[in-house]
Amino acid sequence: MIKKVFIIHRWDGNPEADWYPWLKKELEKRKFIVKTPDMPNPQEPQINKWTSFINEKVHNPDKNTYFIGHSIGCQTILRYLETLHGNIKIGGVILVAPWINLKNLETEDEKRVAKSWLISPISWDKIKKHCSNFIAVFSDNDPFVPLSDKEIFKKKLNAEVITEHNKGHFTSEDNIKELRVVLNELIKISKQI
């Protein structure tokens, strides 16, 4: 069966940024079909626009569909899963630098853009109906994501939590061009099916 992976980039990111091209290439070598959508207006991500955009790109999600999100891409995936109907079950989700809370937002613009993502409730039970395989990857020195958020993902999604050392927010600015932990975890969960 063909396994599809969707990599959802971060706020102010794009498909060619950070570790996404490396991961796409590594997964394609292993016969995954990989899509890295160029999310709309990445400087000002909006919940409805981003979740609708994923919905347009993902046709017939099933147990051979996997998602990898980075930062706001993680929230986008979770909010997309909330919108699914019926008995649709996907294979798994890997969340890199996922957050429910944010720290160190510097400008009023950043605070304005983040506000709806921070205050709009997430329906954890709906999400778990469509996926039971979550891995959340944190860095112990992420300037934006409080490490305490990992407890939320453990409790609400029963996620396996991995804490990486000294990886910042997992961006190219943090000198992260490869992210082997994500590759390894995706290979692992895709073999569970």
The domain segmentation of the chain, as residue ranges, is: 4-190
Those residues whose C-beta lies under 8 Å from the C-beta of residue 176, and which sit 6 or more positions away, are 18, 19, 167, 168, 170
**Which residue in 101, 57, 99 sits closest to 78, CA to CA?**
99
CA distance 106 to 191: 42
Examine the pLDDT at 108 and tell me if it is beyond 90.
Answer: yes
pTM: 0.97
Quick one: 120 exposed, middle or buried, by C-beta within 10 A (0-12, 13-18, 19+)?
exposed
| Mean confidence (pLDDT) of the chain | 97
CATH architecture of the domain with residue range 4-190:
3-Layer(aba) Sandwich (3.40)
Residue 1 pLDDT level (bands cut at 50, 70, 90): confident
User: Using one digit for the tens of pLDDT, what is the confidence trace for 122-148?
Assistant: 999 999 999 999 999 999 999 999 999
